[in-house]
Amino acid sequence: MLTSGGDAPGMNALIRSVVRTASAHDISVLGIRRGYSGLINGDILEMSARSVDGIIRRGGTILYTARCKDMLTEEGQQKAADTCRYLGIDGLICCGGDGTFRGAQALSRKGVPCIGVPGTIDNDIVCTDYTIGFDTACNTAIECIDKLRDTMQSHERCSVVEVMGRRAGHLALQVGCAVGATAICLPERELDFDVDIVEKMRIGRIKGRNHHIIIVAEGYGSAQEVADQIHEATGIDTRVTILGHIQRGGSPTAQDRVMATRMGHAAVEALIAGKTNRVIVQDKSRVTDLDIEEGLSLKKDLDQSLFEAQQTVAI
């Protein structure tokens, strides 16, 4: 198995689940280091049920991860498939986001059975309700922003906080809702700066709120520009915080550990059942698998009812 793309808390819990499920079926597992780069270069280690002891609670990925440009080329894909044949790999489990799934799709086409598992803090994979790492990243961001709120309150300031999510606003919406943000700037929804931010802040002030939290999804644009605009329009002392990679670290939450365990188990069972070119997904409360193409086809929209609830409550 391999982990690829940005790491996500819960990837280690997934590795553990894959190794232990395979062991229970007397199947041996090779860990491929540094994602597809490791597959292309033969950077492999043997894993056993004991070698994954104690990793369920650890953030990051013990297999390391990388974004591999070579895997986008026909030559790289062929090398990766050749390594699989050379090492006698009967099936591959690849955890990551859409780039990872494209690699798995290419290998499936070359006859290497592949199962993708969604692991990204962005939760932006269209065919699955959940991606491993999302809950931990949300909780990490919430913890940081709660701390920011203390100091913003003391100084009666406005805090503009940029959260990750690449081109998607799922993380920003969830976090913004959970911290009681005054406004959330999302790539998926147009925002009227005067109505949705300035006016809300003005009403808040009248009602006695002396500080504000504004969340900016990184895919929306520059948090600094948003802060400058706010300061210019309101005169309120405003500070910017970019949470950055801290959101990708930390011990996984219960939800990520459990989901990773369920998905890892399902991925091994899918390979045993002879499936290939599939992605493990959460569909409501069910863990199942779908054609990888479905994970790549459309852009996942925001949870509209959560968006509406947040808009109503943030007054």
Binding flag, residue 248, ligand F6P (CB under 6 A): yes
The letter for the amino acid at 167 is: R
121 touching ligand F6P, by CB under 6 A:
yes
Work out how close the CB of 97 gets to ligand F6P at its nearest, in angstroms, rounded to a whole number.
6
Please confirm, yes or no, whether 122 is among the known catalytic residues: yes
Strand ranges of the sheet holding 183-185, from the earlier edge strand across to the other edge: 183-185, 212-217, 158-163, 238-242
Are 183 and 233 in contact, with CB atoms under 8 Å apart? no
Interface pick for ligand F6P out of 13, 108, 122, 128 (rule CB under 6 A):
122
Least Cβ distance, residue 1 to ligand F6P (angstroms): 19
Which of these ranges, 79-87, 114-122, 177-185, 235-243, lies near ligand F6P under the rule CB under 6 A? 114-122
Region binding ligand F6P by CB under 6 A among candidate stretches 111-119, 145-153, 158-166, 220-228: 158-166
Minimum CB distance to ligand F6P, residue 138 (Å):
12
Q: How far apart are CA 205 and CA 213, in angstroms?
A: 13
Please provide residue 116's backbone torsions phi and psi, each rounded to the nearest 5 degrees: -95, 145
CB of 67 to ligand F6P, least distance (A): 6
**What's the Cα-to-Cα distance from 92 to each of 54, 67, 202, 233, 271, rounded to whole Å?**
23, 17, 55, 54, 8
99 binds ligand F6P (CB under 6 A): no
Window of 13-21, 74-82, 117-125, 208-216 that interacts with ligand F6P by CB under 6 A: 117-125
DSSP assignments along 212-261, one per residue: EEEEEETTT--HHHHHHHHHHHH---EEEEE-GGGGG-SPPPHHHHHHHH
Among 7, 122, 196, 289, the one annotated catalytic: 122
d(C-alpha 16, C-alpha 10), whole Å: 10
- Which one, 166 or 231, has the nearer CB to ligand F6P? 166
Under the binding rule (CB under 6 A), the answer on residue 37 touching ligand F6P is: no
Secondary structure (H, E, C), 109-133: HCCCCEEEEEECCCCCCCCCCCCEC
* Helix runs in the chain, H state only: 11-24, 35-41, 74-87, 98-109, 134-155, 170-179, 200-206, 223-234, 254-272, 292-296, 304-313
Nearer to ligand F6P, 116 or 165 (CB): 165
Yes or no: say if 113 and 90 are a contact pair by the CB < 8 Å rule.
yes
Tokens representing residue 90 in the block: 């009967």
Instruction: Decide if residue 22 touches ligand F6P (CB under 6 A).
Output: no
Instruction: Name the residue nearer to ligand F6P (CB basis): 70 or 82.
Output: 70
With CB under 6 A as the contact rule, which of the stretches 37-45, 119-127, 154-162, 220-228 interacts with ligand F6P? 119-127
Residue whose CB is less far from ligand F6P, 36 or 268: 36
Q: Which residues bind ligand F6P (CB under 6 A)?
A: 6, 97, 120-122, 164-166, 218, 248
Q: Catalogue the active-site residues.
A: 122
